[in-house]
Amino acid sequence: MAVIWLDGVWGDKNTAKISVYDHGLLYGDGVFEGIRAYSGRVFRLSEHLDRLYDSARSIALEIPIPRERMAALIEEGVGKSGLAEAYIRPLVTRGIGDMGIDPRKCATPTVCIIVDSIKMWAQDRYENGLAMVTAGTPIPHREALCPRIKSLNYLPHALAKIEANNAGADDAIMLDPSGHVCEATGMNVWIVKNGVLKTPPAYAGILLGVTRGVIFELAAAAGLDAREEMLNRYDLYTADEMFLCGTGAEVAPVRVFDGRPIGTGKPGPVTKDLMGRFRTLTRGN
């Protein structure tokens, strides 16, 4: 079952309530994380908390509980949920203020930890691959809001997801204003070309995903060359393989992009190998 910790009180979907004057709701003023637990064990908690607290610090938001307490609450929430595989979302907002935008009016940040489950796509998508399209909505300019901040402001990504839905696709690839590939609506993107793994670098305007880092580790263990490189749609159209990765999505192959089959139009050997390695890492003994 889903459990929720909100400002010191454990509850559920029916009892956890946030004020309509909370600046997280009014202005998207806050940060969050997405974390997984497998067999009751929280996966890469330290890396996720590093990003949560760094994101908060970068927007001058002080999380009112220490990192060690946050970790303990997350572990406690997983235990209370009874979920073998859980999705955890800690989020911190500027707190309750007034109708104005001034953060000084928010006396105390709101802290919430949601422990629930998540399902991005049906199992057949992981077996056969996703259909993707290019979103017309560009990624926000990296100097407007640093993409390394995992903030509550996800409206451009939501609009890109709407474009994918309207096109009958599973998800969308977002570009920067110059046409370079950045990321999907909530996942990092990878391609394989001539046996080399490639993904956009941090300066492309992407969120540095924790699962993205895991892919680098798995690729090294498999003896694969994995590198950061600026990519455009030509690189994706002509790739031998393509996949997405993220906490919610895990590792998901792509079979078609903008109507063009990727490689053979089926999940490729490198992608399938990495999917197996990821499953062993998260669900193995």
CA 140, CA 182: separation in Å to the nearest integer?
A: 10
Residue 6 CA: distances (Å) to CA of 11, 19, 70, 77, 90: 8, 12, 12, 11, 10
Task: Quickly count helices (H) and strands (E) in the chain.
Answer: 8, 16
How crowded is residue 108: how many other Cβ atoms within 10 Å of its Cβ?
Answer: 10
CA 3, CA 24: separation in Å to the nearest integer?
A: 20
CA angle 282, 188, 114 (to 5 degrees): 60
CA 20, CA 188: separation in Å to the nearest integer?
A: 32
Residues paired with 177 in a beta bridge:
none
Residue 229, SS3 per DSSP: coil
Nearest CA among 236, 174, 244, 227 for reference residue 205: 174
Determine whether 150 is an active site residue.
Answer: yes
CA 216, CA 222: separation in Å to the nearest integer?
A: 10
Residue the block writes with tokens 């096109």? 167
- Catalytic option among 17, 150, 193, 272: 150
Cβ–Cβ < 8 Å for 128, 255: yes
User: Where in the sequence numbering do the catalytic residues fall?
Assistant: 150
